[in-house]
Structure 1
Amino acid sequence: MTKSIIFDMDGTLFQTNKILEISLSETFEYLRVKEGWEGETPIEKYREIMGVPLPVVWENLLPNYSNDVRIMANDFFHAKLIDNIYKGNGELYPNVTETFAYLKSNGYTIFVASNGLPEYLSAIVEYYKLNQWLTDVYSIQQIESQDKAELVRILVQKYNITGGALVGDRISDIRAAKSNGLLSIGCNFDFAQAEELQHADRIINDISELKSILEEGAFQIE
């Protein structure tokens, strides 16, 4: 049996809020100059929808703009996120590396499945040297449907995962876990919403709490 833990990235392993506001502010300042954006930067709106695929993000943040403008804004925002990662403005959540070390030493393979773009995920993995623990990183951009459950299904099939859990902070993570027969572990972190977390099998307030959950026994795909 291959024991595996699949993690979401934003709001689960990486404290996206550390770079979110500054990157979004830089993007909307750019939009004010280039596209005549008026009003405040919609940071709270972004927080509400955090975890959905990026095209949906920009449909919500720029509802009255063309798709070309949304793509331009997304590209600019993405570049700023990566820039801020390499400037050291971001941070992993407490106990991530310690928990990864525990998982590896106990025979678990570790994956990331995220709605983030590949270059963004690679920047986080590279900057924080996560490759020493991760077996693979999957981005929603790898599939046409933009459905996280399908993304996880592809990962599960490729690596013949027969037991484990999916750890994330939003409903898309919980649904992806359940549809693939994995234990769903909800992270009560920055972007989590109580009405979504209530659907998770377990809820944690710190990533280190995974240890006690996993020590209860193996998880079989039904």
Structure 2
Amino acid sequence: MNTRSKLKRPEAMIFDMDGTLFQTESVLLPAYHKLFDTLRSEGLYTAPTPPEERMLGSLGMLLEDIWKVVMPDGSEEAHNRANELLLQLELEGLAGGETLLYPEVKETLEALHEQGVKLYVASNGLEHYISGIVDTHELAKLFDGLYSAGKHGTLSKVDLVKLLLEENHVKSAWMVGDRSSDVEAGKKNELGVIGCAYAGFGNHEELKGSDVLISSFSELLKLYEEAASNT
């Protein structure tokens, strides 16, 4: 891992959503159990609900790949219905107002925004899920763009981040996330990578290759303030 002094101050920061900004389990786990209850009631799945850990361990993947891991014994029809149900139930959960960002997320984003840092989201999630989180937690005014695999049809986080950089003419940025897909997206696009080690969905091997690991989101502001200038 590189030392903090090697990080250059960026013009932009790109954030993963689940496990980075948003405490996914606060909306995901209730939706997950309702989803399988519904699949069984509709006759699309007959086995017990797979362990929660299987779902949590799949976060960061494209949705179509998640169901291959979570219910490999499920039919294509079950997988397609699960896609519909998950979005519906998560949006209902967000509307219920009981979901959580990680501590200091909003305050840290506000401080970075005030210092002129351009802020973006790049997530493998669905478009309405990402925008739902941003709207529910009143973050929209802080972001310069929300990029999701669901909206842009990209096949990898690498491609999604590349598109974001090109469309917004971003020359320097940090990729901030908690999964190996975030590290890969950052490195293959020649960005600094900040690995978020506080979510606990993956493991530290997932974050191998990050320039810095942080154990709380608020550390990001200090990193930015200490980063060497590009000039």
Same fold (TM over 0.5): yes
* Cross-structure match for 1:18: 26
1:79 CA displacement = 0.6
CA spacing shift, 1:80–1:195, aligned 2, 3 Å: same
- What CA distance in whole angstroms lies between the structure 2 residues aligned with 1:147 and 1:174? 12
SS at match of 2:144: strand
* Cross-structure match for 1:57: 66
1:36 CA displacement = 4.0
Residues 198 and 215 of structure 2 are in contact (CA less than 8 Å); yes or no, is this contact kept in structure 1? yes
Matches within 5 A, 1:1-222: 3-34=11-42, 35-190=44-199, 191-217=201-227
* Aligned residue pairs, count: 220
CA spacing shift, 1:36–1:138, aligned 2, 3 Å: closer
Please list every run of 5 or more consecutive structure 2 residues that lacks an aligned counterpart in the other structure.
1-8
- What CA distance in whole angstroms lies between the structure 2 residues aligned with 1:173 and 1:86? 28
State the Cα deviation string for residues 98-127 of structure 1 (Å, max 9, x = none). Answer: 111111121100000001100111111111
- What CA distance in whole angstroms lies between the structure 2 residues aligned with 1:152 and 1:91? 25
Residues 114 and 139 of structure 1 are in contact (CA less than 8 Å); yes or no, is this contact kept in structure 2? yes
Residues 175 and 183 of structure 2 are in contact (CA less than 8 Å); yes or no, is this contact kept in structure 1? yes
Structure 2 counterpart of 1:164, which letter? A
Residues 179 and 207 of structure 2 are in contact (CA less than 8 Å); yes or no, is this contact kept in structure 1? yes
State the Cα deviation string for residues 160-185 of structure 1 (Å, max 9, x = none). Answer: 11112010000000110111111110
**Percent identity of equivalent pairs:** 34
SS at match of 2:48: coil
CA spacing shift, 1:36–1:166, aligned 2, 3 Å: closer
Residues 164 and 219 of structure 1 are in contact (CA less than 8 Å); yes or no, is this contact kept in structure 2? no
State the Cα deviation string for residues 131-173 of structure 1 (Å, max 9, x = none). Answer: 1100110001234442101100010111111112010000000
- What CA distance in whole angstroms lies between the structure 2 residues aligned with 1:26 and 1:160? 42
State the Cα deviation string for residues 31-80 of structure 1 (Å, max 9, x = none). Answer: 12122422234311111211100000011222122222201111111110
Structure 1 counterpart of 2:13, which letter? I
Please list every run of 5 or more consecutive structure 1 residues that lacks an aligned counterpart in the other structure.
none
CA spacing shift, 1:2–1:56, aligned 2, 3 Å: same
Residues 2 and 161 of structure 1 are in contact (CA less than 8 Å); yes or no, is this contact kept in structure 2? no
- What CA distance in whole angstroms lies between the structure 2 residues aligned with 1:212 and 1:149? 27
1:2 CA displacement = 7.2
SS at match of 1:215: helix
SS at match of 1:49: coil
Structure 1 counterpart of 2:183, which letter? I
- What CA distance in whole angstroms lies between the structure 2 residues aligned with 1:219 and 1:178? 20
Structure 1 counterpart of 2:214, which letter? I
CA spacing shift, 1:194–1:116, aligned 2, 3 Å: same
1:12 CA displacement = 0.5
Residues 59-68 or 98-107, more deviating: 59-68
CA spacing shift, 1:37–1:174, aligned 2, 3 Å: same
SS at match of 2:47: coil
